[in-house]
Structure 1
Amino acid sequence: MTENNDTTDAPTRRDYLKYGLAVGTGGLLAGCSSGESTETTEPADKDTATATATDTAAETTTETTTQTSTDTPYMVSMAPAGEVTFESVPETWAAYSGDYADMAVALGQADGITGIGGADRYYTGIYDELPGVNIDRNTVESNPEIRTKEQFYELESDIHFYDPQMLVNWFDWDPADLEEIRENVAPFFANLIFRREDAWHDYRYYTLYQAFEKVAAAFQREERFRAFEQLHEAFLADIQSRMPPASERPTVMLTYEATNEPSTFSPYRLNDRGTSKKQWRDLGVGDALAGTGIDGLSTTDRGELDYENLLEVDPDVLLIRGHERKTPQEFRDTVLGYMAEHSVGSQLTAVQNGQVYRGGYLYQGPIHNLFLTERAAKQLYPETFGDVTVDDELFDRDRLARIITDGADSG
């Protein structure tokens, strides 16, 4: 965005936007430095039923944010950034990951994107199903890996949806680097929520919709957020009312292996509260690894399982991440096709029943989550919701698009 070139001493729009850190920053700069893992999740800390109930409650008790006039300064607080004061609504933004980028799109702010930290994991194809909703892929692809000070200066965004602690601990930023960008460009405003395993993340976490509400407050789009939240709650209530009883639900194993001919698999645990597995918690599935002593993939645990290990667990449903660019049929033709011909893999119950599926996005925002929950319901309960390769819709695309583009919910 072009800076105000007036020669008066009055503070400019960017002066107000850039002052981000005010209070509530305890522990902000603590933690060790480590590289970003490829695909990770936090260790198990509770059983699936407890996690599901707790998360559902948290989703429906988000913090209240008062909407203010956009022509006066307003303040939004979010850990670990603390209180951020805005003189006017941010017009341009950069996000590290697809979850926060998707939140901005959901609030009708797609035109403001300047770049993203990881374009390879920002899946935008689902926007094609929503009339009037799109994002400029040229901008995304022109700035696909934003994580250096020089890049932040070049883009001059009005707000950065980056957890500042992540920049310190994944990319070796210094505290002075964070302060420099806050002072000279714009504030950081995000919380790493896709997993809950990092030792340095010793401040509060947010559920998907709690974080979404914070972003809505930053953009002054609280009414649009509430319409989106209502659609989500109604959709989830309908799905959950039609699910089979717990005793009849499948056991599920979530793994990562990005090749078409997998030989080993990195395990995840489902019984955690990171947003990357929200759909599985909401659908009440059992974690096939519960009680096995196998921990999930993490920064410090890179263990893999072979087919013999999988056969010992033998889940009803096997989910494999790393194939989100494939269609359901392409995945079945390649990955499932290979496993069906494997001497040991072919013995897996999930392979024999054709219940090996793509495992979903690592970074999912509110639009993503609706589509991924619909897909997961079909993967887990095809008798109720239809086969995943069929285009049966479980929520109203037009209604969703109206909320995103117009802020109106006529559903």
Structure 2
Amino acid sequence: MSRDDCGREAPTRRDYMKYGSAVIGSGALAGCTGIFASDDDSGSTDTSTAPSTATDTESETAAGEDSYSVTMAPMGEVTFDSIPEQWVPYGGDYADMGVALGHADSMTGIGQAGEYYTYVYDELPGVSVDKGRLAENDLVEAGMSKELFYQMDNDVHIIDTGMLRNWFDWSDDDIAEISEKVAPFLGNMIFRRSDSWHDYRFYTLYEAFEKVAELFQERERYEAFKAYHDEFIAEIQSRMPPSGERPNVLLTYEGTDEPETFSPYRLTDKGTSKKQWNDLGVADALAGTGIENLSTGNRSELDYENLLEVDPDVLLIRGHEQKSPSEFRDTVLAYMKDHPVGSELTAVQNSRVYRGGYLRQGPIHNFFLTERAAKQLYPDVFGDVTSDRELFDRQRIADIINGDI
């Protein structure tokens, strides 16, 4: 939709929504003024391009007394008159946040349904998602088609618009069209921090989770989750070995059972996909090497000779989350043990090659992944990763999700 079309569209059922005076970074249309704002790390208002005071007053009056706003970079302030009844996230991180807040049933789809790992919910009584519905409305499988956005007819899209522009070639007009004719965007890519186009504020896992809690007006559930998370992490950290006795770790990606090359991840990147490793105090085996983190612009890979130069204590390989620990050992590790160069790696010789965790993890995922990582890194303290030993209370998590706080 062109800017000249503004003001001539028939009202939709989402007329309740209005943007705040700043719409940032995404190139989305600010209200119906035809003005595009620029990126802003803080999400603050650019008053030089904001609509007039009279327009603001009229919008606030139309929004009603029960309206509320959520402010998150890059979109800035988005105001709602009611809690969204239907929503869609791009990835498993935000999907998991919605489930944690008790809004699984209203999630209509997702990007890359196959990379949203829902099997952890099987351990939580009364917690589930409609996997069939999500698979039917896979945004990536549909090529991020605008038609699918119209069909789903959501009340909010929890998708960083920077991803739409840089990964899927959406234009500013595409974003503006869906924002106005369907529903607004809210969200921030949080799983890594290595993309040059992401030049606005990043959020930690729980900072982003708090924004989603504001969106769904679920402060009590969020606070309960955060309290238990902080308790859980403190307990784990109190039992960890001294820093000098902790292994160094190389985190990579390679999704095949017979790996030959590996994409590097840097633990110093601080993205949420590395949260458990940073909480568990391990050293990045790539420190001082000059090897960059995987990103939109960096698709470099390491071969076994490169790995041997680093020779980490522990090698973590992503891309195998559908495997059990035993299945991973019988395929990937077994292949590496027979490899003429891979077999020389210390981590391979000591059988310290493990699954590397999800790329996009939410707060529920993080409990499970931290438990797994603690066993991978410190088996003498927390038990072997193949054991059934539990380090957190599943029922307590389920109770929070189900509203029994």
Task: Please state which band the TM-score falls in when normalised by the shorter chain.
Answer: 0.7 to 0.9
Deviation (angstroms), 1:330: 0.2
Provide the secondary structure at the position in 2 that maps to 1:28.
coil
Equivalence for 2:40: none
Is residue 2:131 matched to residue 1:134?
Answer: no
Structure 2 SS opposite 1:265: strand
Matches within 5 A, 1:3-152: 14-17=14-17, 19=18, 21-29=19-27, 72-145=66-139, 147-152=144-149
Q: Secondary structure at the match of 2:381?
A: helix
For the residues of structure 1 that align with 2:367 and 2:379, how far apart are their CA atoms? 17
The answer as to 2:371 corresponding to 1:374 is yes
Counterparts in 2 of 1:407 and 1:188: CA distance versus 1, 3 Å:
farther
Counterpart of 2:170 in structure 1 is 173
Q: Which runs of 4+ in 1 moved over 4 A?
A: none
253, 256, 261: which one pairs with 1:256? 253
Q: Any idea what SS the aligned residue of 1:254 has?
A: strand
Pick from 329, 343, 346: which aligns with 1:346?
343
RMSD of aligned residue pairs (Cα, Å): 1.6
- For residue 349 of structure 1, report the CA deviation from its aligned partner: 1.0
Deviation at 1:29, TM superposition (A): 3.1
Distance 1:263 1:165 in 2: 32
Partner of 1:231: 228
Higher-Rg structure is 2
Does 2:204 match 1:210? no
Query: Cα deviation per residue 1:344-394 (whole Å; 9 max; x = unaligned)?
Result: 211211111111000010011111111111111100000000000111110
Task: Please point out which of 375, 378, 382 is paired with 1:385.
Answer: 382
**Structure 2 unaligned blocks of 5 or more:** 1-10, 29-63
Distance of aligned partners of 1:357 and 1:118 in 2 relative to their CA distance in 1, 3 Å threshold: same
Deviation of residue 181 (structure 1)? 1.2
Name the counterpart of 1:161. 158
- For 1:156 and 1:294, locate their aligned partners in 2 and report how far apart those are by CA, in whole Å: 43
Indicate if the aligned counterparts of 2:248 and 2:282 stay in contact, CA closer than 8 A.
yes
Distance 2:339 2:175 in 1: 50
Q: Does the aligned pair in 2 maintain the 1:166–1:192 contact within 8 Å?
A: yes
Task: State the alpha-carbon separation in 2 of the partners of residues 336 and 371 from structure 1.
Answer: 22
- Conserved? CA contact 2:264–2:301, under 8 Å: yes
When normalised by structure 2's length, the TM-score is 0.85
Gaps of 5+ in 1: 1-10, 31-69
Q: After TM superposition, give the deviation of residue 71 of structure 1 in Å.
A: 7.9
- Asked if structure 1 preserves the Cα contact closer than 8 Å seen for 2:124 and 2:398, the reply is yes
> Counterparts of 1:165 and 1:345 in 2: how far apart (Å)?
38
Aligned counterpart for 2:300 among listed residues 288, 297, 303: 303
Secondary structure at the aligned position of 1:232 is classed as helix
Partner Cα separation in structure 2 for residue 339 and residue 314 of structure 1: 14
CA distance in 2: counterparts of 1:231 and 1:400, whole angstroms:
8
- What is the TM-score with the length of structure 1 in the denominator? 0.84
- Is the contact between residue 68 and residue 81 of structure 2 (CA under 8 Å) also seen in structure 1? yes
Question: Tell me, what secondary structure is at the counterpart of 1:238?
Answer: helix
Structure 1: how far apart are the matches of 2:251 and 2:317?
A: 6
Counterpart AA for 1:22:
G
> Could you tell me how far 1:23 is from its partner in structure 2?
3.1
Q: Secondary structure at the match of 1:267?
A: strand
CA contact (8 A) 1:258 1:322 kept: yes
Task: Write the letter of the residue equivalent to 2:241.
Answer: P
Deviations 1:205-249 (A, max 9, x none): 111100100000110001100000001000000000000010000
Size of the aligned set, in residue pairs, is 357
Q: Are 1:224 and 1:407, in contact at CA under 8 Å, matched by a contact in 2?
A: no
